[in-house]
């Protein structure tokens, strides 16, 4: 059995008693998976006043925890069990705790956490006695006690068996970098607040797709720093409910000639990118926003959108003559809208020439609103 022993050195050991007695920490301790020992640094002071700190050499604000007191406290703790614990000093100067550090720490048999207060500790203690300096984020707390608890809580969840029947930490949000999708339960309607329709229908594939979209959209909106590592590979061709038709990301450069042909057939001469380099530039600026519809592997429809991070513009939409009036343009718009939502785009704008009644009736039928003479918008 893998049990983790955590020793915590602090000037306020009492601060830990509450949190250790609830939830999984309590269960893990009771199951013998986790043991937490609290130690008062002050017990290792040597003078009559139990002094643990002193004025900083060189002057300055505040007090500094003494290296001799800290070292004695640490030696005392290390001598209590085998093997020696991995020593972590909780400090605003540390590297910021994250999921991968937590997993790494959970692999140790013993951890010794040093919670500081005051303005800091004598650097010689850090240099000679500490294995790792950790912060829990960029905000100022009054001491390292809560950070030490945060660390214990996060690490304890990774002790095999500590989560009981709950999900294993392996298939969690942070593992793939995406945030979680929203959750709902009964009642399905409360004060007019409704649960998203898709969740009530029982169509498993639709629900999975919706959840995935939600996860990506939330991550993009709240934690865009996590998105770049995502799905840069083009998606698989998707069915769109029209026999024989698939929609997929453009394959570059193979599709470029076919894409340009489709656009040339539909647009006046001179309005279509004249070559591969221009097409490449489009792709570069809006990856994932150039989609093609295929029939039997041939490109029969194209949609191109530009996205500046805030709003999107429908740049081109074309379907070859033989495949018109089959709903392909609509399908392309629908898939594009999904991609834009993933990027947290709220609105898309399209331009139709004033007398282009085909475009006008298409846009109207798809729920677009005329924003001005030739501009149409749709909220996503």
CB of 97 to ligand 9D3, least distance (A): 8
Question: Cβ closer to ligand 9D3: 30 or 138?
Answer: 138
CB of 96 to ligand 9D3, least distance (A): 8
Collapsed DSSP state (helix, strand, coil) of residue 353: coil
Cα separation, 272 vs 279, whole angstroms: 9
CB of 184 to ligand 9D3, least distance (A): 34
Question: Cβ closer to ligand 9D3: 107 or 137?
Answer: 137
> DSSP for 197-233?
HHHHS--HHHHHHHHHHHHHHHHHHH-GGGSTTS--S
Question: Cβ closer to ligand 9D3: 139 or 190?
Answer: 139
Best CA proximity match to 251, nearest among 264, 236, 238: 236
Strand-pair partners of 121:
65
Question: Cβ closer to ligand 9D3: 57 or 139?
Answer: 139
CB of 113 to ligand 9D3, least distance (A): 10
Q: What is the DSSP secondary structure assignment for residue 7, as one 8-state letter? A: E
Cα separation, 33 vs 5, whole angstroms: 9
Residue pair 20/26 in contact (Cβ under 8 Å)? The answer is yes
CB of 90 to ligand 9D3, least distance (A): 4
Distance of CA 304 to the CA centre of its chain: 28
Question: Cβ closer to ligand 9D3: 74 or 247?
Answer: 74
Question: Cβ closer to ligand 9D3: 33 or 52?
Answer: 52
CB of 26 to ligand 9D3, least distance (A): 24
Query: Helix H segments across the chain?
Result: 17-20, 23-30, 67-78, 99-106, 123-129, 145-156, 173-176, 197-200, 204-222, 256-266, 276-285, 328-342, 357-365
CB of 59 to ligand 9D3, least distance (A): 14
CB of 84 to ligand 9D3, least distance (A): 22
Question: Cβ closer to ligand 9D3: 11 or 348?
Answer: 11
Residues that bind ligand 9D3 (CB under 6 A): 90-92, 116, 119-120, 135-137, 139-144, 147
Question: Cβ closer to ligand 9D3: 143 or 237?
Answer: 143
Strand-pair partners of 190:
193
**For the stretch 111-141, what's the b/e string if a residue is b when 16 or more beta carbons lie within 10 angstroms of its beta carbon?**
bbbbbbbeebbbeebbeebbeebbbbeeeee
Residue pair 23/52 in contact (Cβ under 8 Å)? The answer is no
């Amino acid at each position: 059995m893998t049990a983790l022993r955590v020793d915590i050195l602090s000037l306020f050991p009492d601060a830990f008693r509450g949190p250790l007695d609830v939830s999984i920490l309590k269960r893990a301790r009771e199951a013998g998976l986790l043991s937490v020992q609290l130690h008062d640094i002050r017990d290792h002071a040597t003078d009559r006043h139990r002094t643990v700190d002193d004025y900083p050499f060189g002057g300055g604000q505040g007090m500094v925890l003494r290296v001799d007191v800290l070292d004695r406290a640490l030696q005392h703790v290390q001598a209590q069990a085998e093997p020696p614990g991995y020593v972590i000093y909780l400090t605003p100067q540390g590297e910021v705790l994250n999921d991968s550090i937590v997993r790494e720490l959970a692999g140790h048999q013993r951890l010794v956490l040093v919670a500081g207060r005051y303005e800091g500790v004598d650097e010689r203690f850090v240099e000679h006695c500490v294995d790792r300096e950790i912060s829990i984020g960029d905000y100022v707390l009054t001491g390292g006690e809560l950070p030490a608890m945060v660390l214990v809580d996060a690490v304890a969840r990774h002790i095999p068996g500590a989560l009981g029947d709950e999900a294993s930490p392996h298939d969690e949000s942070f593992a793939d970098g995406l945030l979680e999708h929203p959750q709902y339960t009964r009642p399905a309607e409360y004060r007019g607040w409704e649960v998203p329709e898709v969740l009530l229908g029982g169509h498993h594939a639709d629900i999975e797709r919706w959840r995935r979209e939600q996860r990506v959209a939330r991550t993009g909106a709240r934690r865009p720093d996590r998105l770049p590592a995502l799905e840069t590979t083009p998606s698989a061709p998707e069915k769109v409910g029209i026999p024989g038709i698939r929609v997929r990301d453009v394959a570059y450069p193979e599709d470029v000639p076919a894409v340009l042909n489709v656009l040339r057939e539909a647009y006046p001469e001179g309005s279509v990118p004249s070559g591969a380099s221009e097409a490449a530039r489009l792709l570069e600026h809006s990856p994932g926003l150039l989609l093609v519809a295929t029939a039997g592997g041939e490109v029969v429809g194209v949609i191109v959108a530009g996205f500046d991070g805030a709003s999107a513009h429908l740049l081109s939409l074309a379907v070859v003559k033989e495949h018109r009036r089959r709903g392909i343009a609509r399908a392309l718009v629908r898939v594009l809208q999904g991609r834009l939502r993933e990027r947290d785009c709220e609105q898309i704008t399209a331009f139709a020439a004033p007398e282009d009644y085909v475009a006008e009736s298409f846009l109207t039928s798809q729920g677009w609103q005329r924003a001005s003479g030739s501009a149409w918008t749709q909220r996503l």
